[in-house]
Amino acid sequence: MHHENDPSASTWRDQLIELDLPGVGAITACADPALFADEPEGPTVSPADAPGAAADGEDEDELAYRRRRPTTPPAPETVRATLRDRVPFDLEHTWLVLPALGPVLPTLSPEGMIVADLSGGQAPFEARLRPTDPPSRPSREGASAGAPSGGGRTSIRPPERSWFRRPVVAGALRRRGGPVALGALVGSRRDWFEPAAAAREDLLAAHPDQALERALLIAVEQGQAAVLRIGPGGLDVIPTGADPRVPEIEGLDLLVTERPARCPLQGRDGEGPCRPQGGPWIRAAHEAQVNWEARRSLALTVQACGVCFGEPLPPESDQPQVPQLSHRESVVEISRLHLRDGEMVRIDPIAPPR
């Protein structure tokens, strides 16, 4: 099958679908075939990756003074083992899930193409002109004393023109189908997060085909690549044609579990606060910390955390004063994203309609 060969396409099969369903609660659904295979004998995580594991030549007394490792994306086997250990949950109804991620640009190609018009009335791309001389910056002298600084306040982009499309997608579903579930599509290693919204199929329309048609219409209007159907019949992925890498999937076995409101970055339930990666010491460490904080902010934007609740936490006794767990960034301040194909992208404003 197509999704067996393309790593990006296979994510649509292996991803975690995590939603807060009205009247049901927080759930995680996954159709990864490895979940339904015979469990491997022995530990699913190598001893070196286990918390508190001793390195060669290190005695147990030295472990008391060893800091816990930074919270990096866990191994897929760790995430699968966590799902298997949870109590399975039977979905009574079928839900149609829509991704809600807007266009973004590769970080390493700021001079590339930008999405300019999603209405279909014009070609959807336009070439970005190479910058010439940088514009002169206006003086802000006297701003602290109350003098006007010119230009006024910068208005926030409306949701329909933003990379974070969940409010718009949820509003469109709500107008057609009543209660809406909010959540995220999450990588199998919890290394990327995409906002998502869902509606109950039987409330969206009387007939399943009609409900799917309405969901596909909303997805196409918002530039989304697919609609996912989860329920007693398993997982279906219906592409919209926006991305040729998205496979068409039908009737995959689906494991649904209740999801505790714990740290969304951790691969196991019951873990404590996450640990930052990198720090302010050298350029590479600073870049690692910026990327890590961007991933944490996005995770806390689309999911709830029952550990830190998105608030800053003081360093623990075995953690240096820097780096420390900071306050999450708001949606409009997130500057970069980790995508499902492993690419790092930066947030770029969508060009206004011409």
Confidence of residue 128 (pLDDT cuts 50, 70, 90): very low
Which is nearest to 178 in space by CA: 160, 197, 158? 197
Which is nearest to 96 in space by CA: 179, 3, 187? 179
> CA torsion, points 289, 292, 298, 300, in degrees to nearest 10?
-90
Between residues 120 and 216, the one the model is more confident about: 216
Helix axes 166-177, 208-221, angle to 10 degrees: 150
Residue 194 confidence (pLDDT): 94
pLDDT tens-digit map of 14-46: 999 999 999 899 999 999 999 988 665 444 444
Helices then strands, each counted (H, E), the chain? 8, 14
Tell me the whole-structure pTM to 2 decimals: 0.77
pLDDT tens-digit map of 245-299: 899 999 999 999 999 988 999 999 988 888 888 877 788 888 888 888 888 989 9
What mean pLDDT comes out for the span 316-320? 68
